[in-house]
Structure 1
Amino acid sequence: MNIDSAAVSILKRGVELDTNKRYTEALVCYQEGIQILVNKMKGECNDTTKSYLRKKVEEYMNRAEAIKKLVLKQKEAGQFHEQVHIENNSTGHSYKTLFGRFLDEEIQYVSVEDPYIRSFHQIQNFLRLCELLARSCSNLRHIELITTKDGKSEGDQREWLLNLKNDLIKYNIKLIVKYSDTLHDRQITLSSGWIIKIGRGLDFFKAPENKFCLGVFDLDLRPCHETTVDIVHSKNVKQSYG
């Protein structure tokens, strides 16, 4: 039976993620794959093929609905935990790929705790995150950054973050920067309750080999250092920031 190869690839990936209990990622794959099958079904003339496609769509839709219910149940019980292990030199781990599925119009406030938003490339990483947040979260009004001061170039650090702060105002987003001498945690907290804990913080990308290689701008093409990403959900976050 001829099924669109793109749909097969995406749905196969969805099943793999589903098996590994990476449910929210699996859900994205299932939804994309289902849409491709639905589009193919609309243009299909052969009744046998059409019937087969309909059966597959129903099968994956049922699984997608089951995942939604499972995730909701785990969130309500405070038991949701999804883990992504980023291997050394692996690619395909931009901020959007890692946690873009949690960024939506529900989010009004984002807190970023990372002791290493200090040097030029680290603040650029934070800028990339802010770009993603501004594009994805239409109701975002506050971003809070908690980091440590850079003893060597504190002036530059403050200037770069001030430039970013002034630019975010154009998007009606207020950047609040706080400094801590004892900060060790590295996590991104969304007002919707999702918490993304990245072992190495935002700075897990390797430096590009030169200024004209793939991955300089597209972080999905940039090799990474090994790290672990833990995604959890807390109902208390809404109360704290609400």
Structure 2
Amino acid sequence: MNIENAAINILKRGVELDTKKRYTEALVCYQEGLQILVDKIKDEYDEATKSYLRKKIGEYMNRAEAIKKLVLKQKEVGQFHEQVHIENNSTGHSYKTLFGRFLDEEVQYVIVEDPYIRSFHQCQNFLRLCELLVSSCSNLRHIELITTKDGKSEGDQREWFSYLQNDLIKYKVQLIIKYSDTLHDRQITLSSGWIIKIGRGLDFFKAPENKFCLGVYDMDLRQCHETTVDIVHSKNVKQSYG
């Protein structure tokens, strides 16, 4: 029954997200939960249990299909909007958890606008994002970062970007750095049309209490500052990129 319980917990989380209109997150939960039930039914011999599982699979599958159609329709008319509120000191908000579901083979370029990719820990956050992009987007060809110069440690900032540029080339990904003195927006734009707007930009994680506590490396275990994440979709992204 442990397997079934795991599926139920994931599907319940899906319903919870569905109710909050966080449809793309709900869809991930439904798909994971359904896969567990589908695998379980193959090894089930009791007909009553099989019948019950089939019924549940059918119900959740119908809802998952309805959500897919709803998201597609909202994308078509430019009305898709999903919001995640990150509470102060909460955990479970790594970049992968927040928007990893949008990172796939469709993504060929990514534009990151964030005025605060300057200090060491901020540049490390950007590095974490680059690692996630490279490991998730098989057709990624370039990443563009628009940020501001750090007057105090501009030399270090340039050096860190240079290291990263050289390393990304090994993965056939070009890193383009642009500087703007007037940049205020904080958003990540994917060539597939998804736009992730994070109120605090990439720098919403709190510093770990020490170097040997949970959350030093696994960002899902790191406490966060309060911020809001808005996810929208635009069909004009590909056309607007020169």
TM (norm. structure 2) is 0.98
CA distance, structure 1, for counterparts of residue 59 and residue 5 of structure 2:
18
For these two proteins, the number of residue pairs brought into alignment is 242
Aligned-residue sequence identity (percent) comes to 87
Displacement over 4 Å in runs of 4+? none
CA distance, structure 2, for counterparts of residue 55 and residue 136 of structure 1:
34
What is the 5 A alignment of 1:216-227? 216-227=216-227
CA distance, structure 2, for counterparts of residue 84 and residue 4 of structure 1:
28
Opposite residue 90 of structure 2, the aligned amino acid is S
Opposite residue 106 of structure 2, the aligned amino acid is E
Distance apart, 1:241 and its partner CA: 3.1
What is the 5 A alignment of 1:178-197? 178-197=178-197
**1:174-233, Cα deviation, whole Å (9 max, x unpaired):** 000000000000000000000000000000000000000000000000000000000000
SS of 2:51's partner is helix
Opposite residue 217 of structure 1, the aligned amino acid is Y
Distance apart, 1:239 and its partner CA: 1.2
CA distance, structure 2, for counterparts of residue 114 and residue 99 of structure 1:
17
- Name stretches of at least 5 consecutive residues in structure 2 with no aligned partner: none
TM (norm. structure 1) is 0.98
In the alignment, does 2:151 pair up with 1:151?
A: yes
**1:64-117, Cα deviation, whole Å (9 max, x unpaired):** 000000000000000000000000000000000000000000010100000000
- For residue 113 of structure 2, what is the aligned residue in structure 1? 113
SS of 1:4's partner is helix
CA distance, structure 1, for counterparts of residue 140 and residue 14 of structure 2:
30
Tell me, yes or no, if the aligned pair for 1:109 and 1:241 is still in contact at 8 Å.
Answer: no
**1:8-54, Cα deviation, whole Å (9 max, x unpaired):** 11000000000000000000000000000011111111000001001
Opposite residue 128 of structure 2, the aligned amino acid is R
CA distance, structure 1, for counterparts of residue 88 and residue 2 of structure 2:
37
Considering only aligned residues, what root-mean-square deviation do their CA atoms show, in Å?
1.1
